[in-house]
């Protein structure tokens, strides 16, 4: 059985969604936020971050995008992503990499700003730059969504859920919804998705 180390409101959201869509049973371990984690947790998550997924063979994997791609591979029947070799696969991989390497780090720079400056007075500037970088990245995705319902192919995939999770973390969600109408269109559909509604009761990613 899988074991998911997570925390409400974290990147565990999309992994929980993947496991639920795949009907894969898992044990959920809520990891408290602390600067003094157990060594056992650091052994599987050296940066003291969630999510971490322990696989049925006992090995563990970090990195939300990698976990999503792996789960999609392990559960092909669930249609979590376009299959390897399918035309939409390139978009899926592109946007998963883009979101985890551009947008997620920008979100972290906003919420963990003191980590990103040695200047005690520097956090305001770090936050401003983080929001500017988020805005640049979301604008790219908004443009890519023009004329299409989902990020990759004609069906919802984990990339769309990943996007909804990230945009929900934008510090000014009202501004985000107005600025990026294509993302808002996709996000609105996901806000109405029964599974997202269920997950949102514990994660509180967006107002119910």
Complex with ligand GSH: residue 51 or 82, whichever CB lies closer: 51
Examine residue 133 and tell whether it contacts ligand GSH (CB under 6 A): no
Assigned token pair, 87: 């035309």
Q: Among residue numbers 73 through 132, which ones bind ligand GSH (CB under 6 A)?
A: 100, 104, 108, 112
Examine residue 63 and tell whether it contacts ligand GSH (CB under 6 A): yes
CA angle, residues 59, 62, 64, in degrees to nearest 5: 130
Examine residue 10 and tell whether it contacts ligand GSH (CB under 6 A): yes
As a whole number of angstroms, the distance between CA 163 and CA 91 comes to 13
Assigned token pair, 124: 């305001």
Examine residue 54 and tell whether it contacts ligand GSH (CB under 6 A): no
As a whole number of angstroms, the distance between CA 186 and CA 21 comes to 18
Report whether the peptide linkage leading into residue 144 is cis, meaning its omega lies within 30 degrees of zero: no
Measure Cα distances from 126 to 106, 123, 130, 131, 164 in Å: 10, 5, 6, 9, 24
Rounded to a whole number of angstroms, the minimum distance from the CB of residue 81 to ligand GSH is: 16
Rounded to a whole number of angstroms, the minimum distance from the CB of residue 18 to ligand GSH is: 13
Rounded to a whole number of angstroms, the minimum distance from the CB of residue 53 to ligand GSH is: 10
Rounded to a whole number of angstroms, the minimum distance from the CB of residue 154 to ligand GSH is: 26
Which residues would be at the binding site for ligand GSH (CB under 6 A)? 10-11, 48-51, 62-65, 100, 104, 108, 112
């Amino acid at each position: 059985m899988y074991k998911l180390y997570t925390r409400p409101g974290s990147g565990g959201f999309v992994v929980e969604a993947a496991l639920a869509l795949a009907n894969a049973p898992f044990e959920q371990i809520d990891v408290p936020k602390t600067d003094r984690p157990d060594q056992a947790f650091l052994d599987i998550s050296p940066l003291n971050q969630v999510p971490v997924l322990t696989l049925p063979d006992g090995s563990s994997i970090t990195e939300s995008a990698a976990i999503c791609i792996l789960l999609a591979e392990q559960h092909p029947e669930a249609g979590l992503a376009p299959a390897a070799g399918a035309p939409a696969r390139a978009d899926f991989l592109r946007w998963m990499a883009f979101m985890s390497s551009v947008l997620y780090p920008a979100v972290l720079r906003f919420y963990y700003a003191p980590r990103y400056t040695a200047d005690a007075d520097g956090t305001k500037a770090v936050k401003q730059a983080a929001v500017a970088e988020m805005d640049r990245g979301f604008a790219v995705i908004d443009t890519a969504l023009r004329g299409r319902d989902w990020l990759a192919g004609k069906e919802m995939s984990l990339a769309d859920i990943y996007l909804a999770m990230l945009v929900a973390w934008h510090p000014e969600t009202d501004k985000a919804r107005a600025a990026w109408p294509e993302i808002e269109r996709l996000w609105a559909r996901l806000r109405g998705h029964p599974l997202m509604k269920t997950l949102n009761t514990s994660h509180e990613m967006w107002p119910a």
